[in-house]
């Protein structure tokens, strides 16, 4: 009977990485509450599949991939129950955080986070998001341009 | 909100910032940044945008993490793992057939035994073996033995007879006792045969008495003629005359015994000798 030692317990790693996981989840969902739900769901999956994690590469990469796939699955479920989509969209829009990242078009914040903040290479980050590296590079450029525009706008206001 | 499509220059500058370009491309962009103010301005704008985004994301890490989320993860059950519990030593194999199994096993053994017995019974070689081992089944084996013994001892000069002719009482007692056939020693001097003695051997599994004569005159001087007799054999009630290579053979039967005269195939009077012996023996 071999219980995982505290050092190898993935729950401990998950708690340590929780702020970064929530941040990534927030780039996908756009709302803090949904991000927390997404992280909770993905963390449960990661714990149940922890035996698949062989310790190769960065644990964050595996967890980010888990969050993204969980988000995709949930999005599909939501699309199936499309009845009151307009209401949900409006509520989600209301819950969006008010900082600069909220002004980014959908999908750009997560690209920017993985490349410029988490430091993943294009190929690995593209794999996490399930897109082609070329598309990732394009979106990353678009994210930087959008943020540059926000920065310029902010400077003009201050001036 | 639609995603703006960057220009090729913007894409090149963005990749340049992440060192995702080749050395040649990197060299070109560095030149462009020196010579082209617009490119330099765009590059600075991209850097400012990236800095803004990094600061915003860094600020997000300062936000407190919901305690219930932490608690949920900490208390989440770990997946069950396949555990090999220490097992008791494997019980030794015990042979405890049920009644049905025992009956089935008996039936199987019966069928197998019957099948094997049937195959053996139908086998020609086995039949030959049984005939060989059981007296009176095959006259051919019996005759072969008679002839073999004749050939063996006919060449003997000093050990032709087991009991010499000088002891006729011993011969009568010895052969009668062992063969169960009453007989007399025929005097065949008229045919030029001198009695040399007698032997006892087995042929076809039964004892055979043999009286040995040597021709003392005529063409075949020195030839050995043997008169053999044994208890009546089932197939021995018919007369046989045949020549096997260098040996000739004449047999006849009485209700009590089967007799046989054996001599060289060159002996033309063998049937005459047999006729005389049959009347005298």
Say if the Cβ atoms of B52 and A26 lie within 8 Å.
no
Minimal CA separation from B29 to chain A, in Å: 16
What CA–CA distance (Å, rounded) separates A141 from A124? 17
Backbone angles phi, psi at B29, to 5 degrees: -65, -40
ipTM of the complex, rounded to two decimals: 0.80
User: Using the beta-carbon criterion (under 8 Å), do A23 and B57 form an inter-chain contact?
Assistant: yes
- Distance, in Å, from the CA atom of B71 to the CA atom of A15, rounded to the nearest integer, reads 9
pLDDT of residue B147: 85
Pairing of strands B224-231, B193-203: unpaired
Equal fold, A1-96 vs A98-159: no
**Exposed/middle/buried for residue A6 (C-beta within 10 Å: 0-12, 13-18, 19+):** exposed
Closest-CA residue of A relative to B55 is A117
- Rounded CA-CA distance B261/B212 in Å is 10
Spatial separation of the C-alpha atoms in residues B147 and B149, rounded to whole Å: 5
B198 backbone dihedrals φ, ψ, rounded to 5°? -145, 165
pLDDT at B237 (0 to 100): 59
B250 forms bridges with which residues in the sheet? B241, B261
pLDDT of B137 reads 47
Q: For position A93, what pLDDT does the model report?
A: 43
Cβ of B122: how many Cβ atoms within 10 Å?
Answer: 9
CB-based contact B1:A106 (threshold 8 Å)? yes
In this model, does residue A63 exceed pLDDT 80?
yes
Q: Which residue of B has its CA nearest to A97?
A: B60
Structure token pair of residue B144: 């072969």
Does A70 touch chain B if contact means CB atoms closer than 8 Å?
no
Chain A window 28-47: which residues touch B at a Cβ cutoff of 8 Å?
Answer: 36, 39-40, 43-44, 47
Angle at A141 between CA A135 and CA A143, to 5 degrees: 100
User: Which residues sit opposite B193 in a β-bridge?
Assistant: B215
pLDDT greater than 50 at residue A4:
no
Return the domain boundaries, chain B. Answer: 8-61, 99-133, 135-280
Contact B4 A142 (CB under 8 A): yes
Q: How many CB atoms lie within 10 A of CB B30?
A: 11
Closest residue in chain B to residue A42, using alpha carbons only:
B73
How many Å apart are CA B239 and CA B276, to the nearest integer? 15
- Give A122's contacts in chain B (Cβ within 8 Å): 18, 20
Does B11 contact A141 at a Cβ distance shorter than 8 Å? yes
> Residue B33: which of B45, B48, B22, B49 has the closest Cα?
B45
Of A43, A105, A144, the CB nearest to B73: A43
Whether chain B has a CB inside 8 Å of the CB on A8: the answer is no
Nearest chain B CA: its distance from A145 CA (Å): 6
CB contact under 8 A, A11 and B15: no
In chain B the first and final C-alpha atoms are separated, in Å, by 140
**Nearest partner of B153 among B96, B203, B93, judged by Cα:** B203
Q: What is the pLDDT of residue A110?
A: 92
Round to whole Å and give the CA distance between B144 and B203. Answer: 8
Q: What is the CATH number of domain A98-159?
A: 1.10.10.10
In the block, tokens 């955080």 appear at A97
Residue in chain A closest to B9 (alpha carbons) equals: A141
Q: Which residues of B touch A106 (CB under 8 A)?
A: 1, 3
B93 to chain A, closest Cα gap in Å? 29
- Interface contact flag, A113 B57, Cβ < 8 Å: yes
Rounded distance between C-alpha atoms, residue B53 and residue A109, angstroms: 9
Of A19, A44, A140, the CB nearest to B14: A140
Least confident of A42-51, A76-85, A87-96, A123-132: A87-96
pLDDT of residue A25: 93
Q: Do A38 and B71 touch, CB atoms closer than 8 A?
A: no
Q: Which two tokens stand for residue B128?
A: 């030959």
Question: Top-level CATH class of A1-96?
Answer: mainly alpha
The closest alpha carbon to B250, from B232, B264, B231, belongs to B264
**Residue B98 φ/ψ, nearest 5 degrees:** -75, 175
How many Å apart are CA A70 and CA A76, to the nearest integer? 10
pLDDT digits over B91-110, tens only?
666 677 788 888 999 899 99
Region at A130 (left for phi over 0; alpha for psi -120 to 50; beta for the rest): left
Mutation test of the interface with chain A: which of B17, B41, B73, choosing the one with the most A Cβ atoms within 10 A? B73
Cβ–Cβ gap A100/B52 under 8 Å: yes
Q: Return the pLDDT at A92.
A: 44
Q: Do B73 and A18 touch (CB under 8 A)?
A: yes
Interface touch A152/B45, C-beta < 8 Å: yes
Q: What is the DSSP letter of A114?
A: I
* Average pLDDT score, chain A: 81
Q: Per CB distance under 8 Å, which residues of B are interface residues toward A? A: 1-6, 10-11, 13-15, 17-18, 20, 45-46, 48-54, 56-61, 63, 65-66, 69-70, 72-74, 76-79, 81, 83, 85
Task: Calculate the average pLDDT of chain B.
Answer: 80
The reply to whether A113 touches chain B by the CB within 8 Å rule is: yes
pLDDT at A114 > cutoff 90: yes
The CA R_g of chain A, rounded to the nearest whole Å, is 17
Q: Please give the Cα distance from B130 to B127 (Å, whole number).
A: 5
Whether residues B69 and A113 touch (CB distance < 8 A) is answered with: no
B278 phi/psi in degrees, rounded to 5: -60, -30
Q: What confidence category does residue B153 fall into, taking pLDDT thresholds of 50, 70 and 90?
A: confident
Residues in B closer than 8 angstroms to A107, CB to CB, are: 3
Element at B241 (helix H, strand E): strand B240-244
The residue extents of the domains of chain A are 1-96, 98-159
Cβ neighbours of residue A74 under 8 Å, at least 6 residues apart?
A: A38, A41
Average pLDDT of the residues in B41-55: 88
Which CATH number does B135-280 carry?
A: 3.30.200.100
């Amino acid at each position: 009977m071999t219980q995982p030692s505290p050092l190898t317990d993935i729950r401990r790693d998950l708690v340590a990485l929780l702020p970064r996981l929530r941040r990534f989840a927030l780039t996908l969902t756009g709302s803090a509450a949904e991000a927390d739900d997404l992280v909770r769901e993905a963390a449960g999956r990661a714990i149940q599949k922890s035996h698949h994690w062989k310790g190769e590469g960065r644990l964050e990469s595996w967890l980010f991939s888990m969050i993204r796939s969980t988000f995709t699955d949930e999005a599909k479920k939501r699309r199936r129950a499309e009845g009151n989509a307009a209401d949900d969209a409006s509520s989600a829009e209301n819950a969006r955080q008010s900082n600069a990242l909220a002004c980014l078009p959908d999908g750009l914040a997560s690209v920017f986070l993985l490349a410029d903040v988490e430091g993943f290479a294009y190929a690995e980050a593209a794999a996490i998001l399930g897109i082609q590296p070329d598309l990732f590079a394009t979106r990353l450029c678009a994210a930087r341009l959008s943020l540059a525009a926000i920065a310029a706008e902010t400077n003009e206001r201050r001036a | 909100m639609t995603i703006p499509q960057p220009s090729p220059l913007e894409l090149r500058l963005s990749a340049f910032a992440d060192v995702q370009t080749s050395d040649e491309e990197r060299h070109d962009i560095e030149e462009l940044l020196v010579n082209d103010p617009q490119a330099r301005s765009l590059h600075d704008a991209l850097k400012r945008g990236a800095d803004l985004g990094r600061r915003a994301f860094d600020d997000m890490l300062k936000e407190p993490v919901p305690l219930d989320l932490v608690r949920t993860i900490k208390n989440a059950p770990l997946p069950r793992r396949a555990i090999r519990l220490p097992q008791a030593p494997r019980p030794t194999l015990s042979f405890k057939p049920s009644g049905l199994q025992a009956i089935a096993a008996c039936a199987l053994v019966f069928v197998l035994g019957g099948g094997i017995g049937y195959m053996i019974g139908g086998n020609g070689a086995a039949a030959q073996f049984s005939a060989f081992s059981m007296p009176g089944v095959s006259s051919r084996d019996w005759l072969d033995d008679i002839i073999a013994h004749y050939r063996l001892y006919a060449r003997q000069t000093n050990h032709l007879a087991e009991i010499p002719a000088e002891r006729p009482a011993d011969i009568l007692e010895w052969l009668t006792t062992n063969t169960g056939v009453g007989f007399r020693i025929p005097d065949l001097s008229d045919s030029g045969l001198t009695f040399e003695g007698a032997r006892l051997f087995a042929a076809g599994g039964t004892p055979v008495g043999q009286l040995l004569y040597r021709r003392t005159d005529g063409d075949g001087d020195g030839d050995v003629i043997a008169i053999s007799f044994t208890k009546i054999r089932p197939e021995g009630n018919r007369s046989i005359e045949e020549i096997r290579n260098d040996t000739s053979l004449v047999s006849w039967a009485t209700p009590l015994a089967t007799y046989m005269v054996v001599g060289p195939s060159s002996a033309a009077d063998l049937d005459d000798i047999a006729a005389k012996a049959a009347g005298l023996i």
